[in-house]
Amino acid sequence: MSIEDIRISRRSLLLATGSIAALAAVTPSSLFAAAPSAPPVPAKGTSPFDIRYIVTDQRYPQSLAHAKALAAQCCKTLDVSSGLTRLWQENLQPLWQQGEGAVAGLTTRAVWQCLAEQARSHALLTRVLTPLGNNDGHPDNLVSWIIA
């Protein structure tokens, strides 16, 4: 197989992207419906993740309610409203250096992004990410998440 066999013409590329755009235009809008307004709370003993900590933000009542529902089942809560540095250094970094334990939370998108980036350096990924309500991707919008 030579490089000539792999080349794509400009016409082929335009036809493919046009077809994809047309398909997106006629796709039912129900596929793009908004996420539910409240995050799902797994029934006791049904979570596939070994959640060790729940990250909360006391500035948001939804975050505290989410933590209350999960903490009754499994683990300790950590509040992020006073900053991420201490929370990271004292709890999450030691946990993730050992390569064990999931962390869940309902926080702003900005907090989740920061924790997800730190987790990535320990080969952990966001396994669940659920935007709440009318979420347009702004850093202050609330999201429910699990990093494992």
pLDDT, position 8: 64
Judgement on whether residues 18 and 82 belong to the same structural domain of the protein: no
Judgement on whether residues 63 and 109 belong to the same structural domain of the protein: yes
Judgement on whether residues 11 and 60 belong to the same structural domain of the protein: no
User: Is 60 a domain residue?
Assistant: yes
User: Is 44 a domain residue?
Assistant: no
- Below-70 pLDDT ranges, the chain: 1-48
The b-or-e profile of 86-112 (16+ CB within 10 A means b, else e) is ebbeebbeebbeeeebbbbbbbbbebb
pLDDT, position 143: 94
Judgement on whether residues 23 and 56 belong to the same structural domain of the protein: no
What are the C-alpha distances in Å from 10 to residues 13, 14, 18, 105?
5, 6, 12, 46
Query: Based on the structure, what is the number of domains in the chain?
Result: 2
Residue 78: count of CB within 10 angstroms of its CB: 20
Residue 70: count of CB within 10 angstroms of its CB: 23
Domain with 58 in it: 51-147
Judgement on whether residues 18 and 65 belong to the same structural domain of the protein: no
Judgement on whether residues 120 and 93 belong to the same structural domain of the protein: yes
pLDDT, position 19: 58
pLDDT tens per residue across span 60-78 = 999 999 898 888 777 899 9
